[in-house]
Structure 1
Amino acid sequence: MVEAKNEKIVALLNEIMEMEASGVIRYLHYALMVKGPNRIPIVKWFHDQANEGYQHASQIGEKITSYGGHPTLRVAPVPETKTHKVLDILKESLDFEQAALNKYKELLKIVGDDVALEEMIRSMIRLETEHAEEVVKMLDVN
């Protein structure tokens, strides 16, 4: 059973798992909706993001069970904006990456002395930051 001091960690891990699972659906949808002459590399990039979201959700789920918690079956909502122009999709992606990054940073503040969790979260923060930076470059918004 989850100890009281770890309940907040498990709750945040479950929120992150929901976001990562949502990312799988989100990025798959984006990949399916891309049209135009630059479709192939953009679709590949979105599929790569979906696969990474699956890997992250799995890793987070393993950490939840190591804390004695129960991984969520929920998926964070994915809004359908009905806007499927590449730049609009990338802006949505950037917002999503920033939200995930913020959730990981929130968890980092409370990891305590669990070095393995801290290193995992720092690694996720690095990856999410790199994703956001990549999207900014793709948007050419500097």
Structure 2
Amino acid sequence: MTHNGFDKDEVVTVLNKILETELAGVVRYTHYALMVVGFGRIPIVGWMRDQAAESLRHANEAGELITLLDAHPSLGIGPLLETHRHDVGDILRESLDHEMLALSAYNTLLDLVAGHHVLLEEYARRLIAQEEMHLGEVRKMLKKPGG
């Protein structure tokens, strides 16, 4: 169904994918925080719990936009993969994969609404910027000092 120059059903589908991906992030980062061991545990656990809280905020925001469009938010959750690898490097690499999925969904949303719906366009741009910053942080964390 076309709405202000964009396909509302397609946009709601992408927003629901975002909602599910962000909810998976809540579970994923909460789990990771529980599994971190070693000397650097305390700051890493804090960072992971902050990421879980941010994912929940993003999920709520996507859900609000879905209902703003007079549609129904999904009760689903994105894929959760348990690799049983809990080294901080492994966790961060898995985090990168998860964040790339979210970034892809936000880019898809931007493509669908650009020039048609200011609120959704600004939302997509803001979240793309946040996800790109987050990816940059994780990549820096994965670098070896002096490398």
- TM interval, short-chain normalised: over 0.9
Runs of 4+ in 1 over 2 A off after TM superposition: none
Deviation string, structure 1 residues 59-102 (Cα, Å, up to 9, x no partner): 00000001011000000121000000000000000111111111
The corresponding residue for 1:132 is: 135
User: Aligned letter for 2:102?
Assistant: A
Q: State the superposition RMSD in angstroms.
A: 1.1
Provide the C-alpha distance between the structure 1 equivalents of 2:76 and 2:101, rounded to a whole number of angstroms: 17
Matching residue within 28, 31, 34 for 2:30: 28
Structure 2, unpaired ranges of 5+: none
Provide the C-alpha distance between the structure 2 equivalents of 1:129 and 1:98, rounded to a whole number of angstroms: 9
Say yes or no: does 1:115 pair with 2:118. yes
* Pairs within 5 Å for 1:1-142: 3-4=1-2, 5-112=7-114, 113-140=116-143
Provide the C-alpha distance between the structure 2 equivalents of 1:54 and 1:105, rounded to a whole number of angstroms: 19
User: Aligned letter for 1:14?
Assistant: N
SS at match of 2:39: coil
**Displacement of 1:119:** 0.5
**Displacement of 1:107:** 1.0
Provide the C-alpha distance between the structure 2 equivalents of 1:133 and 1:78, rounded to a whole number of angstroms: 23
Provide the C-alpha distance between the structure 1 equivalents of 2:64 and 2:102, rounded to a whole number of angstroms: 18
Provide the C-alpha distance between the structure 1 equivalents of 2:78 and 2:104, rounded to a whole number of angstroms: 15
Number of residue pairs aligned between Structure 1 and Structure 2: 140
Provide the C-alpha distance between the structure 1 equivalents of 2:63 and 2:103, rounded to a whole number of angstroms: 18
**Displacement of 1:121:** 0.8
Structure 1, unpaired ranges of 5+: none
User: Aligned letter for 2:77?
Assistant: V
Q: TM (normalized to structure 2)?
A: 0.92
